[in-house]
Chains A and B, each alone.
Chain A
Amino acid sequence: MDEPDIKKGHRPRQAGRKADKKKAKNKHEQDLTAKQRNPRAFAIQSVNKAAKAFRRTADIKTKKQHIPKVDRSPTEPPPIVVAIVGPPKVGKSTLLKCLVKNFTKQKLTNINGPVTVVAGKNRRLTLIECNNDINCMIDVGKVADLALLMVDAKQGFEMEIFEFFNICQATGFPRCMGVLNHLDQYKDSKTVRKRKKQLKNRFEIELYKGARLFYLSMLVNGEYLQNEVHNLCRFISVMKMTPLVWRASHPYVLADRMEDITNPENIRQNPKCDRVVSLYGYMRGTNMKSKSVVHIAGCGDYVIKTMTYLPDPCPTPQMEKRRSLNKRERLIYAPMSGVGGIVYDKDAVYIDIAKPTQEEEKPTGLVAALMESLKPVDEKVKESQISIFKGGPSLSGSDFSRKRHVDKTSDDEEDEDDEEDSGMDTDSTEDNDSAEDEDDEVKSPPRKRKKTDPYDEKDIDEIGYEEEDGDAEGMEDDSSDVDDESVDEMEQDEQEDSDSESGMLKWKKNMFERAALKHKNRKNYFKMVYGEDADDKKDEDKDDEEDEDLAGLFKVLKKHTKDNSQVDRHEINKLDCNRAENGESLDLDELKEDIADSFVTGKWDASEDAKARLDEDDELFGDFEDLETGEKFHGTKPSSALDSEDDNETKEDDNEQEGEEKEENDEEGSDQERPKTKAEMTAQERRMAKKKKIKDLFDKEYDNKGDSEFYDSWKSEMDEQSKLNRAEFEELPEEQRVQFEGFRPGMYVRIEFDQMPCELIENFDPTYPIIIGGMTNVEEKLGYVNVRIKKHRWYKKILKTRNPLILSLGWRRFQTIPFYYKLEDNLRRRMLKYTPEHIHCHATFWGPITPQGTGFLAVESVSEKTANFRIAATGVVLELDQSVEVEKKLKLVGTPLKVFKKSAFIQDMFTSSLEVAKFQGARLQTVSGLRGQVKKSLHTPPGAFRATFEDKIRMSDIVFLKAWVKLDIPKFIMPVTSLLLTPEAKQAWLGMRTIGQLRHERGLAVPQKADSAYKPIVRPERERKPLVIPRHLKRVLPFKDLPKDLREPQQQKRVAVVMEPAEAKVANFLKRVKALYNFKAVSHHREMRQRAKEHQKKKEAEEAVRQEKLKESKKRLHKILGEMKKKKEGKGGNS
């Protein structure tokens, strides 16, 4: 009974509502990952597979990476060039009008040349229409950022579209977008859908999968549907452009305005005189330098006379928050079509100042235009000459300005002068006058103030000096005020400086002085190199010359009494040597004092020192930094305390100078208070922290970066460079910036050219784009260009060496004579007479030096009217040189004249002993394969020579000499000057023609050389010599081996009888007689046979009768005899 009461233990519910509740309450979580739980499943099963997988991932990763490039895209990009391309009558102009209308809400009726519109907050577009001249298409392909390819849905893709694709391909392929038009010509929606699909497929094949094709369904009131155009516009304004190599490395301007600013008087005197032309447009590509050589496509190479930037006539609205543009911001600039304030006529420019509303819309454009149109007048004033006295010296407008300029310094009334000066400024430098005006305004007050200064005289000097600067270059515009003051004060300070310094104010002044000094220094160094101002000097020189001219009758021998020219003369012929004389003769002690800190043993720079140390600290001892307070850290040398203890540990990591530096810092910072936190740490803590830090460093290096470290560092290097490029000159005023950098893309520039052909103006056609393409330095030169070329597979003909070909290479279009060749295995360039049909070959031609890797395309004619594909070939530049060796094979053939043992005399190979001399030692070969060598020429016959061979040759052998002849590639280049041609001639430019064309035109037959003609090969049957078997051999031969004379007996040859005519007549007569006789004989014979037959018959009949009679008689006889015998027997018997 005392059994303990065993109670049942609690058994929790395994299932049911409660169990579920409990489960939900404390969810069991697997704390091990699948990989940890089941490592075997994740282990490498096969090494090969793992390697493959790894390689694959690495491949995928690497494929995503692009070669990092420095991003040189401008901060404010130029307008994007949108070109509308397509066959005629497809609706290009209508689309252009619709686009313009959509962007600007203005309807333009007559569009000529490029139209620049604002498309969005930070996007502008330059719209151009491309006509169907292949010259124009090529040029447009070079500048277009986006091409809208108009396609007639009914017609399908026409040749122009395909040609344009190939043009684009050669220039790096800008973006292309198709626009399908005339869809309303199909009535049935199903066919429309089918057609769309069909064309889209073809378009994608031609471009890439997913290439965009827009549809314009119908025309309403001569315009496309608004929403369709709107969609297209939206698409254009968000499209990203592809950066192209050629354009990224070359500056170019698509001129949207052209002005002839030649003196009208000159034109009146000689209408064909060279023109002074100024072209306007947005800079694109990269920076362009003033005074550089440019190529105007379709015109030629020209040197820029002057280049200035203008205020942007169509700026992007500067706004941040608002989303859409208001009406005022929807600018349009199209000077060639008369929008933007200017209307062009043949020989005049009209400024449109009609509607005030319009004026409001584009104030900048109008102002710019006004300012520009002032220019010629101003120049005229400058250039005009007045002679006061007859025969006296003439005064020019520029003289006036200079005189006034000179006067200025001596004038006391500065203020007035100033104003005049500024007035002059506005006249002379038309483009930056607004800026200068401002400057002047700013300048004037301090000057007035300065008048009260005690150093008045100096001031005046200073101002004179400064003004010269301002006029000359505008270099010091920004800071000239400060300059003046600082210079003054510096002078003051210099005096005071000699006294011993004391007090706070003193050092402040010192600082100022130093700043001024620095400022002055900067100016000096720049001027020391680039001179005060080149223009000023020239002017002075001119003055001098004029003076001498004025001196009159006596010609002053220019013996250069002036000092500077004497020095110059000496200077220019000094010894050319790069050894800088360290002019200052400092002795050792002074030097020692001056350069003490240049050595690692010297003091260290604050930035270098503390900051560098901090960074270093950050790397190694970052943890410490976290613990301590910021202020303390800044105030003291943080690491110095640490170093003293950790010196031993860090020594391996640090190089020697750092060690030294530390030691020094220790000494310096020893008296200052140290961070307590560090001091409080125990050595162990410190060590732990350091270990952790080092581990982190290690991890950072090896874990996180992975294998993309190289790529990342490369990329970051490029990013850094592009940041530097952007930041370096950003703060400078625009004028200086232009001087250092050149004209940046995005600027609106005016480029003036001298000596332009008058045809450019006279035959100006706004539908042809004017492209001013900048060139890098060597590109203006000519040389042999080696290219890889391929005949286009759609081109019908193959190309022939020496036939002229029109190439579009770089900015240029020119005609040249290519030589096609094949690079053989031994790197010999072997000429090909024709291009191969389906593979690449090489070619070389005389042309402009263009960087390697530039693409080009070739056409045979730009004037041809054909339905066929016009692009003849495409290719890429490989190498440039000043000489090139293309060779072709030449086989010289000779025959033996006389054969000795191993040498022989060969003739007919050369014509003179001189030729032989040139080929002495050359390799020879006979048909049978015997090799030999040319030895020496013989006297007779001329051109014969002695040769040796490896064995005796036969008289019947033919001897070859295989030689390679270098070809002369003609230095022919002919630019296609399509801009200079009259409208009729534009479509008919021929250039050099092939000989074939010339012959065809003149109806001449191709001259055939008799020797070159192919003739049937006649090979004489070889006569074999009879087999002669010696007699003694014959004797012993068995019969079967003996030669048997099995020949048929020879028939007697009949001799043809040739008779005299008389004889022939006789013979003929005889023959006839004979024939007659023969005939007669035959007939006689027949008759005779007949007769004989009859006679026979008769005879037979007679015979038969006779026989009958005989038979009768015999019968009778036998009867008698029988009777007689019977009688006898009867008698005898009876007897």
Chain B
Amino acid sequence: MSSLQFEGCNFFRMRIILSTLSGKSIKISTIRPEEDDPGLTDFEVSFIRLIDKVTNGSKTVISETGTQLIYRPGLLLGGKLEHDCHPSRSIGYYLEMLMCLAPFTKEPLHAVLRGVTSDKDDPSVDLLKLSVFPVLKRFLGTDEGLELKINKRGAAPEGGGEVLFTCPCRQKLRPLKFTQPGKIKRIRGVAWAVRVSPAFVNRLVDSARGVLNQFLTDVYIYTDHMKGSQSGKSPGFGLTLVAETTEGAFLAAEDVCSARGSGEAPTVPEDLGRKTAIALLKEIHRGGCVDSTSQGLTALLMVLGQQDVSKVQMGELSPYTIQFLRHIKDFFQVTFSIKVDKKPVATKSDDPNEEAEELKVGADKLILTCVGVGYANVSKPIR
């Protein structure tokens, strides 16, 4: 009935899933009108196809030039589905949004996605598993049935990877109260390589450890060198690191080698390892209870909770999250209260005159608070 209008192809996925969740239809116009190949691209179409598989009764009308799209959402269906993701974007592009929808389906989602498992633009499947899953678990209550299995790895550009994502569905989500991130107690990670020398992973691990061991001794990076049919079509390697805190917050960062044929210089594993480690440190610098990848999802699921106050600490908001918050306001009329959390102060001595020393925990931490809209999963049947 009520419809929202947007312009441009940016934040395309976000609009589609928010529309699906809120039931409001959307119209997106001026999609790349001035480019050489105007209109929707393959990966966006592939994303729409995926949404079409997950939902029942959704209707998409794309104009002849492809620069305009009208989407009328249906109800979320879930169940078993398979999708060949277009390899111009990695599976993370699709999976990220699927994770937002998965708790509200009619049947538990069991999705097999094929394509590129990690590339430069999107979070890889490893990253999603390490950083988003803990957040999702807090909203769902348990992680029973929540799984992301990497059957095959496929590096860009050709892909050939396959992941299995399963997620239980819920009638209602739990409100989140997560304001104390705690301190980082361990660092874990996955170094993976396909169709390159197995020594690459060890080189990655060594260089990353070289950086991280200055902060913490408890660093363990798993190596994952996939062979044969599991190794996809293109060569590649990458590293995903995650820092776990005492309170169960996970901050993750990753990097992958430049894709073959991308025109960039070939990546040296040592450089990559070091770069990733620094990226992780930057993520830690940003801090918060959820990392930058899952900020958007966290905000969304907070809004889609019951009519209770949810509170979470985050690091500085990424531009993507900011847009997410704006869109949430458009679709759900929910405004977040965003406050800067006061910095923790170190234990001070008994001299009252001396100023309490602030702890060095990186950038500003924000407290995001919102009241849920009382969203209930209308798809799930009762007997």
Are A and B associated in one complex?
Answer: yes
A residues contacting B by CB (< 8 A) are: 70, 72, 249, 286-287, 289-293, 301, 303, 504, 507, 510-511, 518, 521-522, 525-526, 528-531, 569, 571-580, 582, 584, 586, 588, 591-610, 635-636, 656-657, 665, 668, 672, 721, 724-725, 728-729, 736, 739-742, 776-781, 783, 786, 849-853, 878-883
A290 to chain B, nearest CB (A): 7
Main secondary structure on B side of the interface with A: loop
A residues in contact with B309, CB < 8 Å: 721, 724-725, 728-729
Give the complex CA separation of A600 and B9 in angstroms.
43
Looking at the complex, which one of B340, B346, B359 makes contact with A522 (CB distance below 8 Å)? B340
Looking at the complex, which one of B11, B211, B364 makes contact with A588 (CB distance below 8 Å)? B211
Ranked 4 nearest A-B pairs via Cβ: A572-B8, A882-B57, A580-B318, A605-B344
Pair B382/A530 contact, Cβ less than 8 Å: no
Pair A249/B184 contact, Cβ less than 8 Å: no
Give the complex CA separation of A293 and B360 in angstroms.
47
What is the chain A residue whose CB lies nearest that of B344?
A605
User: Which of chain B's residues 350-383 have a Cβ closer than 8 Å to chain A?
Assistant: 350, 353, 355-357, 359-364, 366, 369-371, 373-376, 378-383
B residues in contact with A602, CB < 8 Å: 183, 359-360
What is the chain B residue whose CB lies nearest that of A783?
B75
A residues in contact with B34, CB < 8 Å: 569
Query: 11 interchain pairs (CB within 8 A)?
Result: A72-B308, A594-B362, A597-B360, A598-B184, A602-B359, A724-B308, A776-B374, A779-B23, A878-B381, A881-B106, A882-B56
Task: State whether the Cβ of B279 lies closer than 8 Å to any Cβ in chain A.
Answer: yes
Pair B378/A591 contact, Cβ less than 8 Å: no
Binds A, one of B149-157, B229-237, B284-292: B284-292
Pair A852/B340 contact, Cβ less than 8 Å: no
B residues in contact with A504, CB < 8 Å: 353
Pair A529/B333 contact, Cβ less than 8 Å: no
A586 and B282 in contact, given A510-B355, A579-B121 (Cβ under 8 angstroms): yes
Looking at the complex, which one of B14, B22, B355, B360 makes contact with A595 (CB distance below 8 Å)? B360
A residues in contact with B357, CB < 8 Å: 603
Pair B334/A525 contact, Cβ less than 8 Å: no
Pair A780/B184 contact, Cβ less than 8 Å: no
What is the chain B residue whose CB lies nearest that of A607?
B344
Pair B296/A657 contact, Cβ less than 8 Å: no
Residue-by-residue, is B240-279 near A (CB-CB < 8 Å gives 1, otherwise 0)?
A: 0000001000000000000000000000000000000011
Pair B13/A576 contact, Cβ less than 8 Å: yes
B278 to chain A, nearest CB (A): 6
What is the chain A residue whose CB lies nearest that of B12?
A576
A845 to chain B, nearest CB (A): 16
B residues in contact with A729, CB < 8 Å: 309, 337, 369
What is the chain B residue whose CB lies nearest that of A593?
B360
B residues in contact with A518, CB < 8 Å: 340, 342
B residues in contact with A849, CB < 8 Å: 23, 75, 378
B residues in contact with A878, CB < 8 Å: 381-383
Binds A, one of B108-116, B158-166, B195-203, B324-332: B324-332
B residues in contact with A721, CB < 8 Å: 175, 308-309
Pair A594/B285 contact, Cβ less than 8 Å: yes
What is the chain A residue whose CB lies nearest that of B72?
A781
Pair B307/A249 contact, Cβ less than 8 Å: yes
Looking at the complex, which one of A511, A572, A656, A777 makes contact with B7 (CB distance below 8 Å)? A572
What is the chain B residue whose CB lies nearest that of A507?
B355
B residues in contact with A569, CB < 8 Å: 8, 34
Pair B317/A582 contact, Cβ less than 8 Å: no
A residues in contact with B177, CB < 8 Å: 724
Pair B320/A578 contact, Cβ less than 8 Å: yes
A613 to chain B, nearest CB (A): 10
Looking at the complex, which one of A576, A740, A881 makes contact with B56 (CB distance below 8 Å)? A881
Pair A881/B75 contact, Cβ less than 8 Å: yes
Pair B383/A586 contact, Cβ less than 8 Å: no
Pair B285/A777 contact, Cβ less than 8 Å: no
A600 and B246 in contact, given A287-B371, A293-B1 (Cβ under 8 angstroms): yes
Pair A778/B23 contact, Cβ less than 8 Å: yes
B residues in contact with A510, CB < 8 Å: 355
Give the complex CA separation of A574 and B121 in angstroms.
12
Looking at the complex, which one of B11, B12, B340 makes contact with A521 (CB distance below 8 Å)? B340
Residue-by-residue, is B292-317 near A (CB-CB < 8 Å gives 1, otherwise 0)?
A: 11001000000000111101000001
B105 to chain A, nearest CB (A): 12
A780 and B1 in contact, given A588-B211, A595-B361, A883-B56 (Cβ under 8 angstroms): yes
Give the complex CA separation of A600 and B1 in angstroms.
53
What is the chain B residue whose CB lies nearest that of A289?
B333
B312 to chain A, nearest CB (A): 13
B337 to chain A, nearest CB (A): 5
Give the complex CA separation of A580 and B355 in angstroms.
35
What is the chain A residue whose CB lies nearest that of B90?
A577
A577 and B122 in contact, given A592-B214, A605-B359, A878-B381 (Cβ under 8 angstroms): yes
B residues contacting A by CB (< 8 A) are: 1-2, 7-14, 21-24, 30-32, 34-35, 56-58, 73-75, 93, 96, 106, 121-123, 175, 177, 180, 183-185, 211, 214-216, 246, 278-279, 281-287, 292-293, 296, 306-309, 311, 317-322, 325-326, 329, 331-340, 342, 344-348, 350, 353, 355-357, 359-364, 366, 369-371, 373-376, 378-383
A residues in contact with B382, CB < 8 Å: 852-853, 878-879
Give the complex CA separation of A530 and B96 in angstroms.
24
Q: A528-B317, A729-B369, A880-B75 are in contact. List 6 more A-B contacts (CB 8 A).
A: A72-B308, A577-B93, A592-B281, A601-B215, A602-B360, A742-B333
Pair B282/A582 contact, Cβ less than 8 Å: yes
Give the complex CA separation of A607 and B175 in angstroms.
25
Give the complex CA separation of A742 and B334 in angstroms.
8
Give the complex CA separation of A342 and B184 in angstroms.
65
B residues in contact with A603, CB < 8 Å: 346-347, 357, 359-360
Pair B364/A656 contact, Cβ less than 8 Å: no
Query: Which of A573, A609, A880 has the most chain B CB atoms closer than 10 A to its own CB?
Result: A573
Give the complex CA separation of A19 and B22 in angstroms.
90
A residues in contact with B293, CB < 8 Å: 578-580
Pair B338/A249 contact, Cβ less than 8 Å: no
A residues in contact with B362, CB < 8 Å: 594-595, 598
A249 and B334 in contact, given A525-B366, A594-B362, A883-B57 (Cβ under 8 angstroms): no
Give the complex CA separation of A851 and B374 in angstroms.
11
Give the complex CA separation of A286 and B183 in angstroms.
38
Looking at the complex, which one of A249, A289, A604 makes contact with B347 (CB distance below 8 Å)? A604
A residues in contact with B1, CB < 8 Å: 293, 301, 780-781
Pair B319/A580 contact, Cβ less than 8 Å: yes
Give the complex CA separation of A878 and B192 in angstroms.
47
B274 to chain A, nearest CB (A): 9
A598 and B287 in contact, given A657-B183, A777-B332 (Cβ under 8 angstroms): yes
A597 and B383 in contact, given A292-B333, A610-B347, A777-B373 (Cβ under 8 angstroms): no
Give the complex CA separation of A883 and B58 in angstroms.
11
A571 and B8 in contact, given A595-B285, A600-B216 (Cβ under 8 angstroms): yes
Give the complex CA separation of A1003 and B143 in angstroms.
66
Pair A586/B285 contact, Cβ less than 8 Å: yes
Give the complex CA separation of A741 and B303 in angstroms.
11
Give the complex CA separation of A604 and B35 in angstroms.
53
Pair A530/B375 contact, Cβ less than 8 Å: no
Pair A578/B296 contact, Cβ less than 8 Å: yes
What is the chain B residue whose CB lies nearest that of A531?
B326
Looking at the complex, which one of B10, B24, B348 makes contact with A575 (CB distance below 8 Å)? B10
B109 to chain A, nearest CB (A): 17
What is the chain A residue whose CB lies nearest that of B10?
A574
B residues in contact with A598, CB < 8 Å: 183-184, 284-285, 287, 360-362
A residues in contact with B374, CB < 8 Å: 249, 286, 776
Give the complex CA separation of A908 and B309 in angstroms.
68
A780 to chain B, nearest CB (A): 5
A residues in contact with B283, CB < 8 Å: 582
Looking at the complex, which one of B2, B9, B329 makes contact with A572 (CB distance below 8 Å)? B9
Give the complex CA separation of A600 and B284 in angstroms.
13
What is the chain A residue whose CB lies nearest that of B92?
A578
